[in-house]
């Protein structure tokens, strides 16, 4: 069986003051939009990080948001802490400035902070839409951050040269340790009990536990064995809504939590049972789904509920309703306080890991896909529109479907095909990717 990608990608943070084009550059580098919208109701997941690739080098891009001074105090604590967070967490930094304004006092202040770090820094002068604008770029030598790179994030002008400079300074992809272990990221909102679950699983207080939300600041890796298998537990800081990350320490925690999801093989979303699934839980689960990670939903604080025979089933239904895009995720009800079913989390994680690495013979894949097309033809409505299908990858299971007209296979139909594969072969706990290619 193939294994998951066992590497940690370098992180590139895009920083700068508002309205200089950071989000436009983020979208340009990642080939995405800043907000991801699914056509299922209630499944909008804002995202400010995404994987990118240039000349064979993969990395993660983080859009840090605008750094703005307060009217009455120059650069406030928020700006300084966010800038320092980006410096501390990222492997390389892209400072975006605006050609049309020239170097501003805020640009100079941010540049001064960046110069104190040992991190590679790329200076991108945005809004250079023609050759005439390149003359204005020389003014940014004042920032003392090396050669300015003239770009147009909107039109793509100059971004190739800037990326060449970037990949020359970022570290190479790093192999993760413990190749034989299953890496598990415990994620969720602050104060849902992630650290307490980690402590139960490890049998020791390896993570700080406090009743105040947001106590955990750094992921803590812990190695445990369960039923003859080795697991690496990544305890992460709580994720809050982007608008509520108002202090550098929470901004830092969010970045590290997202990195932990990327590092993991399987993600455990820890939800608060008395509260139930809330919108931010859906966003966090969306991060894992989009990253192609296996997912388990764990309702913690189960001991606090007044329960009857239907309570457990109601919570399973709640997870399916509120996480409609991740109905494949198994649900478990636990209590970190009493230890109830906590060890069962690792059993589920192992099962999900195995499902994510499952391979199906091509003949069987074609049987399922063709039968699905016979029952419900693609939008074009022509039998035989789907010509051939095969599995091309694992972690997550990835299938390519060759069709005569790719326009006939929209996102809803891809979900339909994925559900048919699940019905026949399981794939519990893991996303399924359906790629569509034209067969000539």
The rounded distance, in Å, linking the Cα atoms of 56 and 167 is 10
Please provide the DSSP assignment of 301-343 as one string.
Answer: -GGGS---TTHHHHHHHHHHHHTGGGTTS-EEE--TTT-TTTT
Question: Is 257 part of any domain?
Answer: yes
284, containing H or E segment: helix 279-290
Mean pLDDT of 237-266: 62
> Do 311 and 413 fall into the same domain?
no
For residue 393, what are the contacts with CB-CB under 8 A and spacing of at least 6?
2, 433
Residues 198 and 134 in one domain: no
> Is 2 within the bounds of a domain?
no
C-alpha–C-alpha distance, residues 53 and 47, integer Å: 18
Task: Answer yes or no: is 413 within a domain.
Answer: yes
Q: Phi and psi dihedrals of 308, rounded to 5? A: -135, -170
Q: Which of residues 216 and 199 earns the better pLDDT score?
A: 199
**Domain count for the chain:** 3
Neighbours of 379 (CB within 10 A): 13
Give the range among 116-120, 132-136, 156-160, 192-196 with minimum mean pLDDT: 132-136
Q: Tens digits of per-residue pLDDT, 281-311?
A: 888 898 899 889 999 999 999 999 999 999 9
Note whether 229 and 139 are same-domain residues: no
Backbone φ/ψ region at 81: left (φ over 0), alpha (ψ -120 to 50), beta: alpha
Q: Are residues 243 and 330 in the same domain?
A: yes
- Do 263 and 184 reside in the same domain of the chain? yes
Q: Is residue 292 part of a domain?
A: yes
Give the H/E segment covering residue 97: strand 92-98
- The reply to whether 269 and 310 lie within a common domain is yes
- What's the pLDDT tens digit per position in 157-181? 999 999 999 999 998 765 555 557 8
pLDDT > 90 in the chain, percent: 51
| Global confidence as pTM | 0.66
Q: Cα(185)–Cα(36) distance, rounded to whole angstroms? A: 22
Domain final residue, candidates 167, 194, 213: 167
Residue partners of 366: CB distance under 8 A and separation at least 6: 388, 389, 390
Q: Is position 161 within any domain?
A: yes
Q: What is the mean pLDDT of residues 320-335?
A: 97
End residue of a domain, out of 167, 196, 226: 167
Q: Which residues have C-beta within 8 Å of that of residue 106, sequence separation ≥ 6?
A: 17, 67, 68, 69, 75, 79
15 belongs to a structural domain: yes
Provide the mean pLDDT of the chain. Answer: 82
Identify whether residues 181 and 160 lie together within a single domain: no
Find the CATH number of the domain harbouring 386. Answer: 3.30.300.20
Same domain for 307 and 387: no
Beta bridge partners, 36, equal: 45
Report the pLDDT value the prediction gives residue 43, as an integer from 0 to 100. 29
Tens of pLDDT, residues 395-428: 999 999 999 888 888 999 999 999 999 999 999 9
CA distance 240 to 243: 8
Q: Is residue 380 part of a domain?
A: yes
| Residue 106 domain boundaries | 7-167
Domain CATH number, residue 28? 3.40.50.300
For residue 41, give Cα distances in angstroms to 44, 131, 213, 247.
Answer: 8, 45, 30, 32
Which of these three, 167, 185, 218, is where a domain ends?
167
Residues 6+ apart with CB under 8 A from 352: 266, 294, 295, 296, 330, 428, 429, 430
Confidence bin at 210 (pLDDT 50/70/90): low
C-alpha 2 chain-centroid distance? 22
Under 8 Å between Cβ of 350 and 229: yes
- 157 and 244 both lie in a single domain: no
* Residue 272, helix vs strand vs coil: strand
186 plus 162 within the same structural domain: no
The percent helix, strand, coil of the chain (3-state, each to 5) is 35, 25, 40
Q: Which residue has the tokens 């990253």?
A: 291
One domain, residues 426 and 295 = no
* Rounded Cα distance, 404 and 386, in Å: 7
What Å distances lie between residue 346 and 183, 184, 188, 202, 224, CA to CA?
A: 11, 9, 17, 11, 10
Copy the structure tokens of residue 145.
């951050």
Per-residue pLDDT band at 103 (split at 50, 70, 90): very high
Q: Which helix (H) or strand (E) holds 290?
A: helix 279-290
109 domain residue, yes or no = yes
Same domain, yes or no: 348 and 379:
no
**Angle at the Cα of 257 from the Cα atoms of 268 and 300, rounded to 5 degrees:** 35
């Amino acid at each position: 069986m193939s294994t998951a990608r066992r590497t940690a990608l370098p992180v590139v943070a895009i920083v700068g003051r508002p309205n200089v084009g950071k989000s436009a550059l983020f979208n340009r580098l990642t080939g995405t939009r800043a907000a991801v919208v699914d056509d299922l109701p209630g499944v909008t997941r804002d995202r400010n990080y995404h994987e990118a690739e240039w000349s064979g080098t993969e990395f993660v891009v983080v859009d840090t948001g605008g750094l703005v001074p307060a009217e009455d105090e120059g650069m406030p604590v928020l700006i300084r802490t966010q800038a320092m967070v980006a410096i501390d967490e990222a492997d390389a930094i892209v400072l975006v400035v605006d050609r049309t304004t020239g170097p501003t006092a805020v640009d100079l202040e941010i540049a001064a902070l960046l110069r104190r770090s040992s991190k590679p820094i790329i200076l991108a002068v945005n809004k250079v839409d023609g050759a005439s604008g390149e003359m204005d770029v020389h003014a940014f030598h004042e920032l003392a951050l090396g050669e300015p790179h003239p770009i147009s994030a909107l039109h793509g002008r100059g971004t190739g040269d800037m990326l060449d400079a970037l990949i020359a300074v970022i570290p190479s992809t790093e192999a993760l340790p413990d190749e034989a272990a299953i890496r598990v990221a415990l994620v969720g909102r602050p104060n849902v009990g992630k650290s307490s679950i980690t402590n139960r699983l490890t049998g020791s207080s390896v993570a700080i536990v406090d009743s105040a939300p947001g106590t955990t600041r750094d992921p803590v890796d812990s190695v445990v064995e369960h039923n003859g298998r080795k697991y690496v537990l990544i305890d992460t800081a709580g994720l809050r809504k982007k608008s509520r990350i108002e202090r550098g320490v929470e901004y830092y925690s969010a970045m590290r939590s997202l990195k932990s999801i990327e590092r993991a093989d399987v993600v455990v979303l820890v939800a608060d049972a008395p509260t139930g699934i809330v919108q931010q839980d859906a966003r966090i689960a969306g991060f894992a789904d989009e990253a192609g990670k296996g997912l388990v939903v764990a309702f913690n604080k189960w001991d606090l509920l007044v329960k009857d025979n239907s309570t457990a089933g109601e919570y399973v239904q709640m997870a399916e309703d509120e996480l409609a895009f991740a109905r494949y995720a198994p649900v478990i009800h636990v209590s970190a306080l009493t230890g109830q079913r906590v060890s069962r989390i690792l059993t589920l994680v192992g099962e999900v890991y195995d499902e994510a690495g499952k391979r199906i013979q091509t003949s069987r894949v074609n049987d399922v896909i063709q039968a699905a097309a016979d029952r419900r033809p693609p939008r074009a409505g022509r039998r035989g529109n789907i010509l051939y299908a095969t599995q091309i990858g694992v972690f997550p299971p990835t299938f390519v479907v060759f069709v005569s007209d790719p326009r006939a296979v929209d996102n809803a139909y891809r979900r339909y095909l994925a559900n048919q594969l699940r019905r026949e072969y399981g794939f519990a706990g893991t996303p399924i990717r359906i790629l569509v290619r034209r067969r000539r």
